[in-house]
Structure 1
Amino acid sequence: MVIQPGIWPWALAVLIADHLVLTFAGLWPRCSWVGSNWTSLPPASAARGEIAITIDDGPDPDITPAVLDILDHYHAKATFFCIADKAQRYPDLCRDIVKRGHAVENHSMHHQYHLPFLLLNGWMAELNAAQDALTKVTGIRPRFFRPPVGLRNPLLDPVLNRLGLKLASWTRRGFDTIEGNSQAVLAKLLKDLKAGDILLLHDSNVAVTESGQPVILEVLPPLLKAISAARLRTVTLSESLEGSD
């Protein structure tokens, strides 16, 4: 059926609005309009008093080892969203993350900021290359993907489904890539802290304090103390799935 000429402006307006909504959804990291998106842990995990610390952009030979030592000291678990080409450069460090009981997940192959503009084949090439690289390094195939800065488009979801990946964003982040005040970062992460939260920090591309210390190294100890005081337990994203099916 041919649309009447008088309806064309309205149809065009609806089409444009639809594309604008999809574009906005892709530029909003915590949005689930363009596909499933973890912004908190599964209900069963939250009921167990679990919380997840996720750490992006590594591995970094100057920061990640110190992060791992802090996590060991507090008997805490974390999920590291690693950039695959960095993992290939520092395979022993990536393997050490897993050896210490943490998880390595997919943060893309190259961490390029044009990813939200990729078409289907582009997403598939980027994610699949990262999956293969991280699996070869750690021996464990990632189950979760987090795009750089959390940005994506509607074409990502079918690729995730094909690769068996879950999209994970966060409940709360400290903006530690731009905020050098560790107390300000800590306050953002602790605001309304509760079971089921997914917290975001970075062990690379991170801001430094006035003393030249990477922010994450000053934030982690008091953050982990606060989590313990709240009687919450840190788990990896994969561990949170236990008993959720």
Structure 2
Amino acid sequence: MKPPRLSPFLWLCGALHVLALLALLYRPHDWLALLLLLVLLHGLIAVAGLLPRCALLGPNLTRLPAAAIRRGEVAITIDDGPDPAVTPAVLDILQHYGVKATFFCIGERAAQYSALCQQTARAGHAVENHGQRHRKQTSLFGPAGWRREVGEGQATLQRITGHTPRFFRPIAGLRNPFLEPVLQQQGVFLASWTRRGYDTRVRDPEQVYARLVRNLAAGDILLLHDGNAARTADGQPLILSVLPRLLQELSRRQLQAVTLPQACQPEQTAAGVADA
């Protein structure tokens, strides 16, 4: 197995740690200054892990590739499902508008509602890895914890759908330097988003919709939720109020919603699929 390719930022952090150790050997009386330097460095690493769209810890798909932008594509990604009370209605809306989306599913929920997860895949949507357990402390995991969270999620979703996920999204996009080597070993890619509506917290569909369509353009990756969806004042899952309007707006702007795997195909391959 090839060793993981670390980002230049992590190589720099490693080099600074070595230099700090050497400086401590030669100037032990400066230990406090060196300690403060290392604290600041680790603080910077932590901040990088707290920013979902940051690429300092490794490759991060925050926007669709240039070829997808030229084709006028956007990607709708839907997290935290499957949810038996919401996902079927989401699938009906997508079918009505003839749109394919990417569902980042939690492994345990996919196993609990396997028929619904299979239905999602059979409808032509991409089912991708949102972790096996979706625990809030995931960003504190070491290598073994990430291997379980990513690897078990891969195995669960592959067993249920028959397709191996190509993308992984941690809970809230939070991570640490131990994740990227695991993703490389598993052959999956970190995917975040360009814009989100905060539809797990905001109860007003107008606010969520406005956030999603503000400066909406080809290449955007949009984030919505079928699992853990906030409810409107009348008790409706918020995504069900926002999604139809969003799809109508995409059509008005002549933007095509595709799955992440479709968007990341080489231009000539995608053209061939479209012609088929």
- In the other structure, the counterpart of 1:110 is 133
Runs of 4+ in 1 over 6 A off after TM superposition: none
What is the RMSD computed on CA atoms of the aligned residues? 1.1
Contact 1:66 1:217 in 2 (8 A): yes
Could you report, residue by residue, the CA deviation over 1:88-124 in whole angstroms, capped at 9, with x for unpaired residues? Answer: 1111110111111100000000110111111101100
Q: Does 1:28 align with 2:51?
A: yes
d(CA) in 2 for partners of 1:24, 1:227: 34
Q: Secondary structure at the match of 1:114?
A: helix
d(CA) in 1 for partners of 2:156, 2:73: 30
Match of 2:42 among 19, 23, 30: 19
Q: Does 1:176 align with 2:199?
A: yes
Could you report, residue by residue, the CA deviation over 1:160-189 in whole angstroms, capped at 9, with x for unpaired residues? Answer: 000001000100000000011001100000
Q: Secondary structure at the match of 1:57?
A: strand
- In the other structure, the counterpart of 2:250 is 227
d(CA) in 1 for partners of 2:86, 2:48: 33
Match of 2:144 among 117, 121, 137: 121
d(CA) in 2 for partners of 1:113, 1:45: 33
- In the other structure, the counterpart of 1:101 is 124
Contact 1:43 1:244 in 2 (8 A): no
Q: TM-score, normalised by structure 1?
A: 0.98
Structure having the higher helix fraction is: 2
- In the other structure, the counterpart of 2:14 is none
- In the other structure, the counterpart of 1:186 is 209
Contact 1:42 1:244 in 2 (8 A): no
- In the other structure, the counterpart of 1:140 is 163
Could you report, residue by residue, the CA deviation over 1:118-141 in whole angstroms, capped at 9, with x for unpaired residues? Answer: 110110011111110100000000
Extract unaligned runs of 5+ from structure 1: none
d(CA) in 1 for partners of 2:64, 2:32: 44
Contact 1:109 1:127 in 2 (8 A): yes
- In the other structure, the counterpart of 1:204 is 227
Larger Rg: 2
Extract unaligned runs of 5+ from structure 2: 1-21, 269-276
Q: Secondary structure at the match of 1:133?
A: helix
Identity, in percent, stands at: 50
- In the other structure, the counterpart of 1:37 is 60
d(CA) in 1 for partners of 2:85, 2:231: 13
